[in-house]
A and B are shown apart, each in its own frame.
Chain A
Amino acid sequence: MAGTVQAPFVVLDEEYTIVEVGPSAEGGFGPLAGQNLWACFPGSASLFRPYYDKAWRTGEPQEFVQFYRGYVTRVQAETQGDRLKVSWKELHTIDALTVTTLSESLARTIELIEDEQADVLRQEVRASLRLIRGEA
């Protein structure tokens, strides 16, 4: 459809090799085609793979919000035969320019992060923020 911007996506095989890169993701992922996803993005497997594995296992599309490398992203993972299509939308980027922008940015990040693990981290982040802002 004219004027519609397609969400960035990559297609993975069962070994998590990047086999296809969508046009909007070419800038970041294009050079990575043929490589293993987890090797390209160190530390990301524990954050993303459980959702992808569940998509493989159940055949049900998975949607979640995750934080990685300063970005809060809404991710969708959907099996297509023997491939997994992963698309995403960036919801927020950490702004660490000043204490003020960082505080606002972290508050937004905390709002967006939803899972249980994030509850503990939310508290840690809030405690540190109070100290940084001199509120403790």
Chain B
Amino acid sequence: MTSAPLARPDPPTASELYVVLDSDDRLSYVSVGLQDELGGWVGHVLWDHLPGAREIYGPGFEEARSTGQAVERVVFYAGRAKRLTAIPAPDGLAVHIERIAALDVRTLGTLAQSLARIAEALGAREPAQPDLPARASLRALP
């Protein structure tokens, strides 16, 4: 007897992966798509959980806050290239996360291939301006 393949939920989209930070970089909200990973961090300062990330993520967040404009950056942290979009709003800074490419360390071959994908992603560091009106809600780390 063969069993029917299990239905898998679609992976979360970028719009479902976001957190909201207060002015001290404390997590005030974690979207459903990130609850398993970051849900326990609400109320905590983000940097306390992500060693070395402040130097990578922080400048974009500060730029968004100081300019009042959305700031989009492609960064590498913890084995992944990701696009972060920081959107300032009255109730905090929404940070949307789009996971672009992950390091695959299974073999030297997969490592080399995944590095190439990451290099390509990081090479495209000049994204189009985000569509601000369409991102009215607070949404955009791991």
A residues neighboring B (CB under 8 Å): 43, 47, 67-70, 94, 96-99, 101-102, 106, 113, 117-118, 121, 124-125, 127-129, 131-132, 136
How far, in Å, is B118 (CB) from chain A's closest CB?
Answer: 6
Q: List 25 A-B contacts (CB under 8 A).
A: A43-B107, A67-B107, A67-B108, A67-B111, A68-B107, A94-B105, A96-B103, A96-B105, A98-B52, A101-B52, A102-B103, A106-B115, A113-B108, A117-B108, A118-B108, A121-B108, A121-B112, A125-B111, A125-B115, A128-B119, A129-B119, A131-B119, A131-B120, A131-B123, A132-B76
How far, in Å, is B26 (CB) from chain A's closest CB?
Answer: 22
B residues neighboring A (CB under 8 Å): 51-52, 56, 76-79, 103, 105-109, 111-112, 115-116, 118-120, 122-123
A94 to B56, CA, bound (A): 19
> Would A43 and B103 count as touching, CB distance under 8 A?
no
| CB-nearest residue of chain B to A96 | B79
Question: What DSSP secondary structure best describes chain A's contact surface?
Answer: helix
A68 to B111, CA, bound (A): 10
B109 partner residues in chain A, CB cutoff 8 A: 121
A96 to B82, CA, bound (A): 14
| CB-nearest residue of chain A to B102 | A96
CB-based closest 8 A-B pairs: A131-B119, A70-B105, A128-B115, A96-B79, A124-B112, A128-B119, A67-B108, A121-B108
> Would B106 and A129 count as touching, CB distance under 8 A?
no
| CB-nearest residue of chain B to A115 | B108
A98 partner residues in chain B, CB cutoff 8 A: 52, 56, 76-77
> Would A132 and B122 count as touching, CB distance under 8 A?
yes
| CB-nearest residue of chain B to A44 | B107
